[in-house]
Amino acid sequence: MLDECRKDAWMLTDAGRAVHKQDGTNGRPLIKGVHWHFIAHDRFHSIGIAENLFECLKRNNIPYTIHPIS
């Protein structure tokens, strides 16, 4: 999942948008952002996110939501 975080961060750069041809012109949608979701897990006493992934999200200003145990 760490690679996906890095890809999401890159996708929001001008270079990433150009590669995906998503520049907001000619009917091509502009990538506005990404948002990650995690589900806490009681059995493993986990909030559902590894520390290195959490750091990647913070470093790249990628928003996330940690959903509580239901």
Residue 62 confidence (pLDDT): 96
Span 1-28, pLDDT tens digits: 899 999 999 988 888 877 777 666 666 6
The domain locations on the chain are 2-23+35-67
The candidate with the shortest Cα–Cα distance to 12, out of 37, 34, 29, is 34
Q: What pTM, to 2 d.p., does this model score?
A: 0.75
| CB distance 31 to 5 below 8 Å | no
State how far the alpha carbon of 30 is from the alpha carbons of 4, 11, 36, 48, in Å. 19, 11, 19, 30
| CB distance 38 to 66 below 8 Å | yes
